Amino acid sequence: MVKDQEYLKEKASYCLDFAKKLGATDASVNVGSSISETVNFRNKKLEESNRSDNLGIDITTYIGKKKSSISSSNLLENNLNTLIEKCIETTKNTPEDEFNALPDEDLLAKEVKDLNLYDESHLENDDKIKYLSRLEASASSDKAIVNTESSFTEDKSNFILANSDGFCKGFKTSSFVVSSVAVAKDDKSMERDYEYNLKCHLADIKSAEELGKTAAENTIRKLSPKKIGSEKIAIIFDKRIAKGILSTFSNAISSSAISRGTSFLKDKIGQKIFSDSINIFDKPDIIKGLGSQSFDAEGVQTDTLKLVEQGILKHYLIDTYNGKKLSLKSNGRCGGTSNLYFINGEISYRDLLNSHSKCLYITETIGHGSNIITGDYSVGATGFLVEKGEFKYPINEITIAGNFKDMFKNITLANDLEFEYSTNSPTMMIEGMVVAGK
């Protein structure tokens, strides 16, 4: 069992009191407990089963505008005393920074919403093994599949965040993650693909048979890829790739990047950066949402933000430190977004495929080719050639490139949004991207 709230609160309170006693003007403490159990299979055989129990504490002390932090997995009183003493000494010898401060008290969360993020259910290892046995059988049922890997991970966690201004709150979360990786081979190529499912509640996990079948189908359809020439063409991004475009956007509007001047979206609040049809929300109170939370990593209340409205950038993601640098108040985004998503477009998935006589459908990108300083984007990719709405054949060994300043303005979204991750996008088409092929 993970440690309960009272135990975590007791440890947090002790550390805050001792830090103040030693001369800290302010302090914050995060105490967390978690249990993780994982079972792995390879080629229909059990490979390993492991469990980890973690208990840890992060302590931050302030003396005026000086600040330092320390962490440990040993929560015995003698060790905590030593930790805090070291942290105080380090703080005394740290240069002052005028922007160091706890969050404004009036911004701190007043309550923890019940967002149904914790499931008491527990799947015993034997049952995880049975699930993965069925998954592996499903994934390898086609003779083209030559290798499979799968895993089942169950996580339970609890934490308390407290500071010297009286904030002391936390909540439990759980997650169940199942993945299936398949390798297929024919006389022309060997290909790999996957499928996975992540949920807060065990009952919401897909069936083993469905997950394995999808992983195999995703892999087999990539066999015997062809190479294509270089051209400028419309590209459709599968949902699991399209969400990466949205993640890059969130990185570019983080207050840390904005305050450093290292984002192409610096000074863009109130300006149109997408087409009129694009709206982007960050919504922290979705029931069972994978990114749902009542407050951010500093305890600041998180409310829904409409980050982009009809193409216009409305907000940055602001934490306390960088917010002070920008003369802006925190909007509860220390640690990033919660549940980030594009609002659905108005065109169906099928109509999106039919919108051009020829386009590329991208299912995988390779490399980290997003530069938030310049907005340049260039990645290796694999996918399919689409002609008149039909998938013709798989393609690989291409590079797709553009600049987000142009890409954002040329996005068309389908109406097939699903909340499978903490960042979600409908299927996305971007006009006029450059493809480098053979």
In this prediction, residue 36 carries a pLDDT of 98
Last residue of a domain, one of 192, 220, 248: 220
Query: Is 270 a residue whose pLDDT tops 90?
Result: yes
The answer on 196 and 82 residing in a single domain is yes
- How does pLDDT run across 95-118, given as a tens digit for each residue? 999 999 999 999 999 999 999 999
Rounding to the nearest 10 degrees, give the CA dihedral for residues 361, 365, 366, 372.
Answer: 130
Sequence-separated contacts (24+) of 105-109 with Cβ below 8 Å: 105/165, 105/166, 107/300, 107/301, 107/329, 107/330, 107/332, 108/165, 108/167, 108/295, 108/299, 108/300, 108/301, 109/167, 109/169, 109/294, 109/295, 109/299, 109/300, 109/301, 109/302
The answer on 24 and 87 residing in a single domain is yes
The answer on 308 and 415 residing in a single domain is yes
Number of domains in the chain: 2
In this prediction, residue 368 carries a pLDDT of 84
The answer on 339 and 400 residing in a single domain is yes
Helices 208-220/125-139 angle, 10° precision: 30
Amino acid identity at 22: L
What span, in angstroms and rounded, lies between the C-alpha atoms of 385 and 236? 10
The answer on 385 and 236 residing in a single domain is yes
The answer on 42 and 140 residing in a single domain is yes
CB-based contacts of 223, cutoff 8 Å, min separation 6? 144, 184, 185, 186, 188, 189, 191, 394
Mean pLDDT of the chain: 96
The answer on 310 and 205 residing in a single domain is no
The answer on 397 and 267 residing in a single domain is yes
In this prediction, residue 100 carries a pLDDT of 97
Contact predicate 127/134, CB 8 Å: no
The answer on 148 and 135 residing in a single domain is yes
pLDDT band at residue 135, thresholds of 50, 70 and 90?
Answer: very high
CATH number for the domain that contains residue 81: 3.30.2290.10
Average pLDDT over residues 411-431: 97
In this prediction, residue 400 carries a pLDDT of 96
Task: Tell which phi-psi region holds residue 242, choosing left (phi > 0), alpha (psi between -120 and 50) or beta.
Answer: alpha
Domain hosting residue 189, numbered range: 5-220
In this prediction, residue 367 carries a pLDDT of 86
What span, in angstroms and rounded, lies between the C-alpha atoms of 102 and 158? 23
- How does pLDDT run across 350-402, given as a tens digit for each residue? 999 999 999 999 999 998 889 999 999 999 999 999 999 999 999 999 999 99
Average pLDDT over residues 140-160: 97
What span, in angstroms and rounded, lies between the C-alpha atoms of 82 and 29? 15
Average pLDDT over residues 289-304: 97
Query: Is 438 a residue whose pLDDT tops 80?
Result: no
In this prediction, residue 437 carries a pLDDT of 84
Amino acid identity at 107: L
- How does pLDDT run across 178-196, given as a tens digit for each residue? 999 999 999 999 999 999 9
Average pLDDT over residues 157-165: 98
In this prediction, residue 10 carries a pLDDT of 97
* Better pLDDT: 369 or 20: 20
The answer on 243 and 151 residing in a single domain is no
Last residue of a domain, one of 171, 186, 220: 220
In this prediction, residue 369 carries a pLDDT of 87
Contact predicate 72/57, CB 8 Å: yes
Sequence-separated contacts (24+) of 417-422 with Cβ below 8 Å: 417/341, 417/342, 417/343, 417/344, 418/239, 419/286, 419/289, 419/290, 419/339, 419/341, 420/197, 420/198, 420/239, 421/198, 421/243, 421/290, 422/289, 422/290, 422/291, 422/337, 422/338, 422/339, 422/340
The answer on 247 and 163 residing in a single domain is no
Last residue of a domain, one of 220, 237, 269: 220
The answer on 175 and 252 residing in a single domain is no
Query: Is 308 a residue whose pLDDT tops 80?
Result: yes
Average pLDDT over residues 195-219: 97
pLDDT band at residue 211, thresholds of 50, 70 and 90?
Answer: very high
In this prediction, residue 158 carries a pLDDT of 98
